[in-house]
């Protein structure tokens, strides 16, 4: 019988003979062999035992397997998936991209991409003759035209919902077009998590996460995840992980495992709080615009439940003021936490234009709705009244 999603989250995968209830931390760089023949068998590729912790570690592998099961989860027809953990979301993203492209290839992606992913594609991959085209992925015909006219396009890279405006892209339609032209598709599923969105069911090749965010859920460490369905892709990605060395420490994998156990509960509470806060902001005289998928005013509200199971815990809003008024608001915040990152238990407030997106050119920022008075909120698990009281008193000083 297939186990339910929540059950996969809470049950640990047994990895050792002592029957530890919780996946233990294997703090060891190497593993020994029963005898010399076993060692030689390993190096002939005839044995699956652990040998050196850059190749594999029991803690890491168990947590990777759990998250891979969640990305492949379906009540009736789960799919076979393979997972890898990394030391950060960027290590997972860089590995996923390098698995799909080589020198001479082109990547198509969206302009409103996570800042460092943008930097990797333009500043780093450009040095290795990989080009990146930014396209309006809201219009599937744009992608179709590009693919028809440029046979060097080998990868379509999608981040949905996107940071910080929660713009969404249609994974199913974009992937169908990419597949007609034999291009790989990667989806950054950080904002939704597998609880709300499972892109591998739409023929996507690789799902990546910054598990630093909702999957860890407590802000206790950086980590990244790569999940795919194809064994060859998995082996290639593992080869990159092994040679670039961007592994997660088993301690961080342990923390990630702890976080995943409460993922469904947390996501439900993030969403309950987010819709209440979004409605409050929507009715506030000093707020010009609220970007939350659960509001009918959001551009993607009408279709997004075809792709996601809920509206998520992230929102952003524009204060009816200039940059100075916005900074007065941020300085007045007392209860919520003013910081970057997202997906933690407490509410985090960020000013994208001067922090997370400060290295995006101004024209590109404005084109995707990142104005000087835009504030992003990762809605936490507090009593939402306390968050509202704080934001309300801070709005009074703009």
Ligand X SMILES: *Cc1c(COP(=O)(O)O)cnc(C)c1O
Least spacing, CB of residue 348 vs ligand X, in Å = 12
Cα separations in angstroms, 375 against 160, 214, 335, 364, 369: 19, 19, 16, 17, 11
Residue 166 token pair: 């929660």
| d(C-alpha 150, C-alpha 153), whole Å | 6
C-beta of 166 vs 200, nearer to ligand X = 166
- Please, which residue, 25 or 248, has the CB nearer to ligand X? 248
Min separation Cβ 36 and ligand X, Å: 41
**Contact mark string toward ligand X, 146..165, x via CB under 6 A:** -------------x---x--
Q: How far is the CB of 367 from ligand X (least distance, A)?
A: 19
CA 56 – CA 59 distance, rounded (Å): 9
Distance (Å, whole) CA 224 – CA 95: 10
Strands 224-228 and 82-86, by their bridges, are: antiparallel
Pick from 58, 72, 83, 89: which binds ligand X (CB under 6 A)? 89
DSSP 8-state code for residue 203:
T
Answer yes or no: are the C-beta atoms of 231 and 82 closer than 8 Å: yes
Per-residue contact track with ligand X, 93 to 112, x per CB under 6 A? x-------------------
Give the range of 88-96, 165-173, 269-277, 362-370 binding ligand X by CB under 6 A: 88-96
Query: Taking the complex as a whole, how short is the minimal distance between the CB of residue 124 and ligand X, in angstroms?
Result: 14
- Choose the binding region for ligand X from 86-94, 119-127, 171-179, 199-207 (rule: CB under 6 A): 86-94
Chain residue at closest Cβ approach to ligand X = 89
HEC profile for 158-199? EECCCCCCCCCCCHHHHHHHHHHCCCEEEEECCCCHHHHCCH
Q: Which is nearer to ligand X, 161 or 372 (CB)?
A: 161
**Among 3, 4, 89, 73, which residue's Cα sits nearest to residue 229?**
73
| CB of 117 or CB of 321, closer to ligand X | 117
Token output for 51:
């040998």
In order, the DSSP letters of 18-60 are T--SSPPP---SB---SSHHHHHHHHTT------BTTT--HHH
Per CB under 6 A, which region of 5-13, 84-92, 259-267, 378-386 contacts ligand X? 84-92
Matching residue, tokens 């396009």: 153
Strand partners, 107: 132, 155
In the complex, least distance from residue 88 CB atom to ligand X, rounded to whole angstroms: 3
Q: Would you say 156 and 132 are in contact if contact means Cβ atoms under 8 Å apart? A: no
Site string for ligand X, 268-307 (x = CB under 6 A): ----------------------------------------
Cβ at position 93, least distance to ligand X in Å:
6
φ, ψ at 302 (rounded to 5°):
-65, -25
* Rounded Cα–Cα distance for residues 236 and 232 (Å): 6
Tell the smallest beta-carbon distance from residue 191 to ligand X (Å): 6
Considering the complex, state which of residue 117 and residue 257 has its C-beta at the smaller distance from ligand X: 117
**Residue 114 touching ligand X (CB under 6 A):** yes
State which of positions 182-221 bind ligand X (CB under 6 A): 188, 190, 210, 212-213
Least distance in angstroms from the C-beta of 288 to ligand X = 24
Site for ligand X, rule CB under 6 A: 88-90, 93, 114, 116-117, 159, 163, 188, 190, 210, 212-213, 222, 224
């Amino acid at each position: 019988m297939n186990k339910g999603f929540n059950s996969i989250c809470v049950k640990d995968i047994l990895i050792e003979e002592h029957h530890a209830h919780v996946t233990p931390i294997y703090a060891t760089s190497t593993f020994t062999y029963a005898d010399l023949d076993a060692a030689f068998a390993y190096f002939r590729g005839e044995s699956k035992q652990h040998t050196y912790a850059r190749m594999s570690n029991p803690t890491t592998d168990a947590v990777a397997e759990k998250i891979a099961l969640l990305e492949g989860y379906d009540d009736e027809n789960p799919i076979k998936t393979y997972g890898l953990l990394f030391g950060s979301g960027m290590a997972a993203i860089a590995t996923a991209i390098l698995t799909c492209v080589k020198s001479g290839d082109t990547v198509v992606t969206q302009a409103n991409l996570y800042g460092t992913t943008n930097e990797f594609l333009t500043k780093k991959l450009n040095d290795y003759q990989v080009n990146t085209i930014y396209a309006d992925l809201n219009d599937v015909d744009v992608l179709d035209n590009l693919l028809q006219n440029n046979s060097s396009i080998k990868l379509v890279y999608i981040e949905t919902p996107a940071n910080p405006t929660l713009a969404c892209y249609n994974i199913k339609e974009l992937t169908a077009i990419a597949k007609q032209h034999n291009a790989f598709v990667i989806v950054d599923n950080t904002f939704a998590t597998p609880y709300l969105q499972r892109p591998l069911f739409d023929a996507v090749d690789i799902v990546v996460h910054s598990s630093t965010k909702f999957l860890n859920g407590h802000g206790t460490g950086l980590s990244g995840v790569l999940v795919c369905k194809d064994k060859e892709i998995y082996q290639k990605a593992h080869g990159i992980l092994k040679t670039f060395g961007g592994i997660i420490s088993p301690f961080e994998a342990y923390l990630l495992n702890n976080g995943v156990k409460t993922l469904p509960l947390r996501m439900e509470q993030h969403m309950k709080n987010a819709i209440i806060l979004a409605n409050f902001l929507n009715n506030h005289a000093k707020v010009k615009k609220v970007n939350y998928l659960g509001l009918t005013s959001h551009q993607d509200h009408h279709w997004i439940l075809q792709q996601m199971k809920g509206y998520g815990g992230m929102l952003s809003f524009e204060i009816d003021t200039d940059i100075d008024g916005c900074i007065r608001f941020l300085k007045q915040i007392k209860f919520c936490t003013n910081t970057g990152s997202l997906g933690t238990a407490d509410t985090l407030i960020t000013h994208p234009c001067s922090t997370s997106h400060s290295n995006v050119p101004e024209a590109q920022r404005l084109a995707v709705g990142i104005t000087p008075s835009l504030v992003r909120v990762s809605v936490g698990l507090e009593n939402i009244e306390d968050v509202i009281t704080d934001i309300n008193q801070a709005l009074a000083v703009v």
